[in-house]
Structure 1
Amino acid sequence: MKKTTAENLREQKMQTNQDPAEQKAKLSAAKRALLEKQLRGRLTAAAGSETITKRPVADPALLSFPQQRLWFLSRMDSANVAYNIPTALHLSGQLNIPLLTLTVNEIVRRHEILRTKFDLAGDQAIQIIRPELPIEIEVQDLSALPPQEQEPEVLRRAREDGAYRFDLQNGPLLRVNLLDLGKQEYVLLFTLHHIVFDGWSAAVLFEEFATLYLSFAENRLPALPPVPIQYADYAYWQRQQLQGERLEKLVAYWRRQLADVPALLELPTDRPRPPIQSGAGAVYSFRVDRLLAERLREISRKQGATLFVTLVSVFSVLLHRYSGQQDFCIGASVANRSRPEFEALIGLFANMLVLRAELAENPRFTDFLRRMRTVSLEAQEYQDLPFEKLVEELNPMRDRSYSPYFQVIFVMHNMPSGKWEVPGLQVRYLPIDFGSAKSDLTFHITEDNDGFDAAFEYSTDLFEKNTIERMATHFGTLLKTIAAQPETRVGDLPLLTEKEYRQLSDWSHGAALLSCDDGMLHERFEAVALAQPEQIAVICGDRQLSYCELNRRAEQWARLLRLQGIVPEMRVGLCAERSIEAIVGMIAILKAGGAYVPLDPSAPPERLDALLRDCAAGLLLTQAHLKARLRTEIPTLCLDDAEAVELRVSGDDRSCPPYRPVSAQQAAYLIYTSGSTGKPKAVLVSHANAAASTAARLREYGEQPEGFMLLSSFAFDSSVAGIFWTLSHGGRLCIAQEGKHQEPNSLAAAIERDRPSHLLCLPSLYGLLLESCKADQTNSLRCVIVAGETCPTTLIKQHYQRLPGTILYNEYGPTEATVWCSVYKTHPQDGNIDRAVSIGAPIAGYQLYILDPQMNFAPVGVPGEVYIGGAGVARGYLQRPGLTAEKFVPNPYEEYGARLYRSGDLARRHADGMIEFLGRVDNQVKIRGFRIEPGEIEMRLLRHPLVKETAVLVREDRPGDKRIAAYIVPAGQTPAGSNISASETLRAYLKETLPDYMIPASFVILEQLPLMTNGKLDRNALPVPIIEGRFSGSGAVPLNPVEEAVAAIWKEILGAGHIDIHDNFFDLGGHSLSAIQVIVRIQDRFGIEISVAELFDAPTIYTLSQILMQQQSEPADEEMLALLAELEQLPDGEAQRLLNDLAI
């Protein structure tokens, strides 16, 4: 039979012959430091208390700090079973079940903690120890099952038992079941609550089980020494130790160490974080082989670090690469049995150390390892502060959706081999995945002679199994690279296998374009005009032109432009409303060899003049009614002055300069986009870019447009998509008339009149169109494309309900990629997903990479920046060489000379290769350390029937005070400005699915969202929210007796003076114990029992008082009403006597 851990240690000490000074001299500097710190810690503990004495029996047995936390959590969510600990033994041989029962009961007799239950004494939680607790072992016969069915049935029953919650108030907190598999094979299943048990306790339990069973089998007294102290003595001792100067020193260190640490490690998840996690989980196990393990031990020795520090450092690198965060915390579980008296006890001793990982400036792994060694050494030196006490003293922001400081845990197990031999019976530890998780992610690693057993325990609320499998693979890749090249910088360490690399490379490339030699845009149009001259080319209102006539007019204007000196690369301004004339001018400029510069005629004249001067335009084409407001000295021609054109170009052709061929690399057009500095920048798009973009449309879309409804202003590059796709194919371009292109009813009428087959518009505008149009107005549409904004899932549902036979596509692409670079063909089921609609995959002729900051492929599921390559990548920015060099970078994945456009957009790939757009890299807003995703909040709001449109943004209307504001266009008749009821409704709705930190502080009702001229949201025009009601810091005082009573309770417990009724209880220093005190006082004062969860959800005097007043005003139940009715029928004297007897 195996020796206990303590016996092994004592035996090793006895066998050691070396002088301690000689041993110390052989240690590395780091290990000497660790030894000295550990010795100092033991000496300090010894100085505080030479021996641990038994607690005063007359005093209530208070909980230890870890127990106090678990008891608090159970009060907050009594249904959560994540802290049930099922553990199992496999027994082979002749099992004596009466002896087994005797053995289990002897263990329970020896350890008071197994006979303990928990309750309140006043406002303090206490342990109540039963003098005895007989344990009955339930025997379940599985011998009739075939062998192949027994293992899954054992797992099912183990999980079923593990999912049955414990009653901490009444106990018992231990269940024992014996599963009889037949042929002398058994599984002994223990299920205990973590409040009385931890991982080390399992080893104690199993060792005592083997020892006691053997003693009873041999009919002799147990060979175990009496337990010197009990767990309640430890809890008393712990509280005595953590007082005064010692406590202050420990708290001061952790306050310094954790200052300004991010609240959340934001690993990419498969599902949004729920407001409260269920505790459901799973385990994925894998193996690290002996050779790799030995190499890691060697690196540890060379760097003067323990294997624990090396492995936690590798794990930290993995988390850094997945989250992109350079500063975060990990929880490290330690046994916390620093004294010999604790080693043989069952109970909750384990503590969580907070290890802060900082990876700024992409350090070498060895440098980071040394940094983590220091962090670990200091954490061990100050480990006597229980994590629960640390949280109470430092009082971080609380949210029920995550644990404070860390959500990922690292556990390195140092347990016995898990095998015990008893005459006639073999006992073996049986690992079982019990389907629960205590945190987002816990990494377990157990060292043995042949390597490591590793396992990820993960929350199935957040992660899918295949995500964790990939994570385990990437951890293995990191281990191998670090073992071979430990000096590599952490950002350069590869994560991917060769297979993953090839897959991501394939996904990054669109299909090959067969050829871009079909001519430039105007040449493609000319070929169609020659092939089908009488086909209608363009319609605008009641006017239309055939291909022949459009070509003739464009050619006339091209000749005039050449007469005006227009040559290749010369910029020509085009400032015109949506009209046939604008199309004529656009094609004419291309025919003349110039590059057109479209300008929005609604823009201020000063801006238009500045853009014309910036691009050094040699000529401006406009319309007569616009000319008067254009304040420019640039030569100007009016496109609607047909007679003047006829006269000026009708002369001898010899007066017109000869046509000068245009190369594919010369500019076709310039599009101005807004710049981060406020100064617009002009994107130079070549003929080759435009030809590739259009050729990709002809390839990607199976059905080409017979008629295309053009809504975009010519000043925006989305107009290019419709114009040249349609005219290159021979379709009919339908131009929505100026002033009516964004009005849903007018747009529906235009579609009904012109009968287009294709439509491209913003998702927000398309949603309004679907709401406004009649069923038959849009039935000509066979293809709808949305682009320019994130496509909400609600739009998918809306589309397929109204137009089930029409395909809906979601496009993505910046101006610098010539309109687009990816597309996704939606399906009706996309309306049910919990994330943004995919932007698909790269289009033909393009590459779309998702890369990390070192330009490595981001793994599947991991966010990265979008880099775009291929034939559509623009030349750069006009006269902005520095910015061009910054944004257009060499492509490391293609031949020399290839370029990538660095988009500044954030995205990730899913397991099917499709891409999810996540937002802008520079728009990753944080509030109180939490990353806020406005798009996720918008998506949730759009699912509420009250909401027609919404915009969510983070505002900072007062310096340092960032708040989330939600702007709502209601679906019903809610009048603008009536915020209160809508706010309460929507806030309660969001709390069902989102964490508290993502709940908007303000909801603003608007008649409509303000839009820019391109139809996109004008965020700068959104009004400043009015703070609803009374807000924190306003000095708001109680206004009714309930608020006054609650305020008095808070002041007493928190020791505070004035408290604003909108101040957060936990912000004021409230913690788990004081929360319980509040609940007890409220029950005493009001006779109403509220839960811890209700206090968490209503943490202000105002919100808590609302709950109390609501419960006070609830009507009596039907039974009570019936009794009162009977009382009314009795004579007055008899009724009064009954009431007096009942003291009513």
Structure 2
Amino acid sequence: MRLAQLLAALSKKGVTLHCDGEKLALDGNIGKLSANEIELLKSYKDEILSSNRGDSNIFDVESMPRETTYRAPISSHQKSMLLLESLTEQPYYNLPVAFKVSGAIDRARLQVAFATLIANNDILRTVYSNIDQQQYIQPIADFDLPCTQLGDEASLRSALHHEANYRFSLTDEWPIKAHLFELNNYCVLSINIHHIAADGVSAKIILETLSKAYGQGVDESIIEKPEAQYADFSAWQHTYLSSEHGEKARTYWQQLLNNVPSSHNFPTQFSRPGMMTVEGERWKQVVGETVSNRIKALAQEQGVSSFSMMQSLFACFLSRMSGSQDVIFGSVYANRGSDSVKQTVGMFANTIPFRFEFSHGDGLYDAIAQCRKLVENAKQYQYVPFEQIVELADVERQANHLPLIQIMLVAQDNALEQFELESCQVELLNNDQNVSKFDFSIHLYTKGSQFEFIWEYSTDLFSNAFIRKIAGYFEHFIDAIVTRPQDAFSAINLASNTASNSLMQDVFPDFNALPTLILNQALDKPDDIALTQGLKSLSYAQLAEETTRVASALIENKYAPSGRVGVYMDKSIDMVIAMLAIMRAGYVYVPLDPSYPTARIEQICCNAQLQCIVTGDLLFPTSKVSQNTDVISIEALRSENVVHEFPELIDSDIAYVLYTSGSTGTPKGVAVSHGSIFYSIQANKAIFEFSSFDTIPTVGSQAFGVSLLEILVPLLSGGTVEVITRDDVSLIPTFVAKTQNVTVLHAVPSLMGLWVDEVQRLGGACYPALRLLLVGGEPVSEALLKKIHAWRPDVEVRVLYGMTESSVVSSSYNPKHAASQSYCIGQPHPNVNYYVMNEYDALQPSGLSGELWVSGLSLATEYVDNAVQTNKHFVFEDSLGQRVYKTGDRVKRNLDGYFEFLGRLDNQISLRGVRIELGDIESCVNELRLVSRSVVHPQQINEDETVLVLYYTLRDDHDEARALIDIKAHLSEQLPAAMRPTLFCYLESLPLNANGKIDRKSLPIPCLESEYVAPNTTTEEALQRLWGELFEDPMISVEGNFFELGGHSLLASRLIAKANELFQIELQISAFFAAPTIRLCAEKVDLELDKNRLHLLKTNAVEHCDGEELIF
């Protein structure tokens, strides 16, 4: 008995051996060893010890003598394939191929060739048992090669599609089929093999065997059998994995994959669905000859293979595209270390993970150095099956993506194109299944002097147009990086500047200060109404007169030129007069919202160093400020009755300072020039087509930039401003009543939703004058847009985006123009330029996210008395040749040319190795009609753990307990476990700041006690017992998530098998992935039981109805 045979016999008896220094140690069922086997072990002792020291080839697979029919343990590859097959009812694991054959084909010889192939390769006449994990090799028999006449190519396409998508029954059917189709002047040979019996190398062996056997005719003896069969490899694999070499290999993979990310951050076009499918398509990219030659030349220079060079390039590209320094993808290794299996058909190929860990500033040379080591180790340790590598990585399992590897780079040859049949012309046909088992794979071919990439991609995540974009970026990136391999690849642009995310529009000429332009309206339309508030109104002539009087009085008080003047008033006509007067007099307008706490008012006044403060009816609240600053009522200024000439305002003069929240808690003053606000207001006037017929109310706080949009745009257009106080806005019925005559209404989404709700509650008044709704300030939900459309489909809606630093509104979006899954902010307005940049200040092309940089004529000047923040956010970027504002907003430009807001850069978190955008979760929650508002916030519950907390409010007609169940179920269906909140906190209302946005700092810390939920039904009790056996915990909550508890697909397979046996049902494992809690699973089980009972009822009824009609 040879050593390999002896070791296989030991393995079959459950005996393992390992080397202890210079001794052999045995474990397991030692009592089953015969005396002869013990003596043989002693005789092989030196050889085994030598093998353990690496002195001989441990990868030799030796053939064992067998009968024609036998059984053998399945390999790990086969075990995995059987599991994957059980997860789906679709034939995703087929390897179909079709050839057009011209000439006189001999069907009898072809049938003999197939018979020879199957006789020589046991794996092709093997069936499998899920019960005992064995493969059963069946006796040699004739092979059926049906032949069908077809009339046209349409019939051929249909027939080939049917053949490619045939579902093999692996428990009772050989894993190979062939069919010959005859047309008028040619034939098509279709071959389909299940992946459990073959890999890429096997396909080449099969075609070579068929070609040779067909050429030899009926003389089968000329075709040599492989030295070893696949069952021999399976036996060797069991021995290898239990050896010290196998243990050493497992240790390597465990160390390499320690703390590996569970999924990639490569940008996708569509959100990942709750349940993974394998629907896919393919697209071919031919790399230019110049770029191909550069790759080959650099590979030769560096002493690596072209494929290793491509792996290095691919790793750099993944890092550049995803913004991650830790990237991983898979490549396929043949796994045929022994010469005896070089010509053996079977599933040998193994997916090997390639993990690159980059540092800031790394270039291609760094990637090549890493790749050399990875390739060297992959060759040595490739024999650990991928399923075991995944287990060693200990990554979180998700129902919506594969574990560990979701991206592949695979080297392919042209073996299929080289298939020949004697005296015939053979042409390979395209017979794809439209399947992608990974998020995307690149299959690399070498065609002449050029590389060819076949992109295989999931249509759940990508469109063909998006893949084409990415492919273009890849080629552009390769061309750039092979030219400068020493440079940091993170700073390489993925597209030329002309294709970047920037849209510079025409410049409005002839600057003139807005106060001057507005006051000049009195010359053209003196009697037209400029301002109204309740029963009071002011014409343009009256506005000009009042503004001139107050501005002259300010100049009379001899405040320093360009000095800052505060306005402490509630929204009113006088407040508008004061603002215009301050600007026209050459001073800087600084609004002070009376609703602010006194402490914040003091902070603003101190930082602004105000010359004076203009007040109205309200008493200024703090003597701390008034002791050092003049406080003057607007009535006092009116009474001075003086006239002064006004200074000539230039575009660089500061018009106003608005204070925004600072990250340190101290407000930041944003200084905006007359030129910036002029170009911004002119752009908004043009975009929204404001005219003298428009009326718009003042809704936003005067301390925020949007108030300038509500006041200055209509006044510049000759329209009317409807002044509404803060108190009136906060009382929704009053707010609705006071906006009955407006043509344009602006509000943040939450307020707009309340306004529409109240309008509908009052009977859906149509507001005939209303033509435009402006909504922005935070993400706008699809539900709000649908609500508006249902009420008034004719009213135009514009989603606004901007910030104080870009003079309020810098872009807008019409939701009717294009569908979007996220907060679309449209395209930049005239005079504004948008760029999307990565963290290394490199341009991001369409489809990739990054920080939004804004340039153009509307930028603010500075942060008042804050050089550090000014220099951080307002910079001159040499690569763009412009001064830009770094917004801190994460955006991308979609394929339609629109920009999408993805969240704040500081609102993106990394949790358990997964980067999470909190806005994605919030959007998912807000899809539910029962949810009014929601916010997701990370909370640190102890020193080592941070969890996601969902805070939410409900609509009035929903029960809190039932709503929580519905929310959890929805999130379970839509989001991977890593993105699902751990804690849920129902609130009557979410805390808001002064501008109506959610105040995250004021969110309460939720109760952290985990609640055990007991089973309510006998089914839940039975499932709880099964789960308890698997997890060794009898008190598992019926709402505990299987995967969050540590479950994975293999464990799920065991659980479903036990459940099916217990309940006598046939629950599919795919159904369990959609219901991974005891409670949800119990519902699935009960549904199956009900089906069985109904079937039994019908059967019994038919047996007893004696032919009479039975009505259910």
Q: Same fold (TM over 0.5)?
A: yes
The residue aligned with 1:698 is: 685
State the shift of 1:570 in Å: 1.2
The residue aligned with 2:180 is: 178
1:91 aligns with 2:101: yes
The residue aligned with 2:417 is: 418
Which segment drifts farther, 936-945 or 110-119? 936-945
**Change beyond 3 A, Cα 1:397–1:789:** same
**Change beyond 3 A, Cα 1:45–1:965:** farther
In structure 2, the residue corresponding to 1:1117 is in which secondary structure? Answer: helix
The residue aligned with 2:341 is: 342
CA distance in 1, matches of 2:375, 2:330: 11
In structure 2, the residue corresponding to 1:1011 is in which secondary structure? Answer: coil
**Number of equivalent positions:** 1053
1:759 aligns with 2:745: yes
CA distance in 1, matches of 2:1056, 2:182: 46
CA distance in 1, matches of 2:61, 2:831: 77
**Change beyond 3 A, Cα 1:777–1:446:** closer
CA distance in 2, matches of 1:55, 1:400: 42
In structure 1, the residue corresponding to 2:373 is in which secondary structure? Answer: helix
The residue aligned with 1:728 is: 716
Q: Residue type matched to 1:179 in 2? A: F
Correspondence list, 1:393-412, <5 A: 393-412=392-411
State the shift of 1:126 in Å: 3.0
CA distance in 2, matches of 1:326, 1:120: 42
**Change beyond 3 A, Cα 1:204–1:1028:** farther
Kept after mapping to 1: 8 A contact 2:326/2:358: yes
1:502 aligns with 2:498: yes
Of 69, 76, 92, the match for 2:87: 76
In structure 2, the residue corresponding to 1:46 is in which secondary structure? Answer: coil
Kept after mapping to 2: 8 A contact 1:87/1:432: yes
State the shift of 1:817 in Å: 0.4
State the shift of 1:514 in Å: 3.0
1:191 aligns with 2:168: no
Of 958, 961, 970, the match for 1:974: 958
State the shift of 1:1012 in Å: 1.8
Which segment drifts farther, 982-991 or 257-266? 982-991
The residue aligned with 2:564 is: 571
Measured against aligned partners, the alpha-carbon deviations of 1:405-441 in whole angstroms (never above 9, x if no partner) come to 1211010124547324443123444454331111011
The residue aligned with 2:77 is: 66
1:51 aligns with 2:62: yes
State the shift of 1:966 in Å: 3.3
CA distance in 2, matches of 1:1009, 1:759: 24
The residue aligned with 2:1094 is: 1117
State the shift of 1:465 in Å: 0.8
The residue aligned with 2:551 is: 558
State the shift of 1:949 in Å: 3.2
Of 626, 640, 657, the match for 1:670: 657
The residue aligned with 1:1077 is: 1054
Measured against aligned partners, the alpha-carbon deviations of 1:757-784 in whole angstroms (never above 9, x if no partner) come to 1111112221222222043253321111
CA distance in 2, matches of 1:133, 1:922: 67
In structure 1, the residue corresponding to 2:222 is in which secondary structure? Answer: coil
In structure 2, the residue corresponding to 1:624 is in which secondary structure? Answer: coil
The residue aligned with 2:134 is: 126
State the shift of 1:742 in Å: 3.7
Of 785, 788, 802, the match for 1:799: 788
Correspondence list, 1:903-914, <5 A: 903-914=887-898
Correspondence list, 1:351-430, <5 A: 351-416=350-415, 418-430=417-429
Q: Residue type matched to 1:973 in 2? A: D
Of 508, 515, 518, the match for 2:509: 515
State the shift of 1:43 in Å: 5.2
The residue aligned with 1:836 is: 822
The residue aligned with 2:910 is: 926
Correspondence list, 1:374-773, <5 A: 374-416=373-415, 418-496=417-495, 501-504=497-500, 508-517=502-511, 519-628=512-621, 631-633=624-626, 642=635, 644-647=636-639, 649-650=640-641, 659-704=646-691, 706-752=694-740, 755-773=741-759
CA distance in 2, matches of 1:1089, 1:310: 49
The residue aligned with 2:208 is: 207
Q: Residue type matched to 1:879 in 2? A: D
Q: Residue type matched to 1:168 in 2? A: L
CA distance in 1, matches of 2:104, 2:683: 75
CA distance in 2, matches of 1:1054, 1:1006: 35
Measured against aligned partners, the alpha-carbon deviations of 1:762-814 in whole angstroms (never above 9, x if no partner) come to 12221222222043253321111112111222222222222222211112111
Correspondence list, 1:952-1101, <5 A: 952-975=936-959, 978=960, 980-1026=961-1007, 1030=1011, 1046=1023, 1049-1050=1026-1027, 1052-1053=1029-1030, 1065-1066=1042-1043, 1070-1099=1047-1076
CA distance in 1, matches of 2:579, 2:985: 43
In structure 1, the residue corresponding to 2:388 is in which secondary structure? Answer: helix
Which segment drifts farther, 541-550 or 463-472? 541-550
Kept after mapping to 2: 8 A contact 1:623/1:638: no
State the shift of 1:973 in Å: 1.0
State the shift of 1:1049 in Å: 4.3
CA distance in 2, matches of 1:267, 1:156: 36
Identity %: 28
Kept after mapping to 2: 8 A contact 1:707/1:731: yes
Q: Residue type matched to 1:136 in 2? A: D
Measured against aligned partners, the alpha-carbon deviations of 1:703-752 in whole angstroms (never above 9, x if no partner) come to 43621111010000011111111111111001222212144332221111
Give unmatched runs, 5+ long, in structure 1: 1-38, 1130-1144
The residue aligned with 1:239 is: 238
Which segment drifts farther, 726-735 or 1022-1031? 1022-1031
**Change beyond 3 A, Cα 1:193–1:569:** farther
CA distance in 1, matches of 2:1006, 2:339: 61
Q: Residue type matched to 2:77 in 1? A: P
Kept after mapping to 1: 8 A contact 2:98/2:431: yes
CA distance in 1, matches of 2:1102, 2:294: 83
**Change beyond 3 A, Cα 1:928–1:204:** same
CA distance in 1, matches of 2:980, 2:168: 33
Measured against aligned partners, the alpha-carbon deviations of 1:842-886 in whole angstroms (never above 9, x if no partner) come to 111111112233433312111122111111011111111122111
In structure 2, the residue corresponding to 1:925 is in which secondary structure? Answer: strand
In structure 1, the residue corresponding to 2:196 is in which secondary structure? Answer: helix
CA distance in 2, matches of 1:102, 1:893: 69
Q: Residue type matched to 1:686 in 2? A: S
Q: Residue type matched to 1:203 in 2? A: K
**Change beyond 3 A, Cα 1:733–1:876:** same
Q: Residue type matched to 2:813 in 1? A: Y
State the shift of 1:685 in Å: 0.5
**Change beyond 3 A, Cα 1:1086–1:803:** closer
Q: Residue type matched to 2:548 in 1? A: E
State the shift of 1:302 in Å: 2.0
Q: Residue type matched to 2:233 in 1? A: Y
Correspondence list, 1:6-45, <5 A: none
**Change beyond 3 A, Cα 1:461–1:1072:** closer
Which segment drifts farther, 1041-1050 or 665-674? 1041-1050
Of 858, 861, 869, the match for 1:872: 858
The residue aligned with 1:323 is: 322
State the shift of 1:264 in Å: 1.4
CA distance in 1, matches of 2:864, 2:825: 29
Measured against aligned partners, the alpha-carbon deviations of 1:450-496 in whole angstroms (never above 9, x if no partner) come to 33232111111111111111222222223333443333321243432
State the shift of 1:398 in Å: 0.2
CA distance in 2, matches of 1:893, 1:215: 68
State the shift of 1:244 in Å: 4.9
**Change beyond 3 A, Cα 1:708–1:1062:** closer
Give unmatched runs, 5+ long, in structure 2: 1-49, 1107-1112
Q: Residue type matched to 1:1015 in 2? A: G
Kept after mapping to 2: 8 A contact 1:215/1:222: no
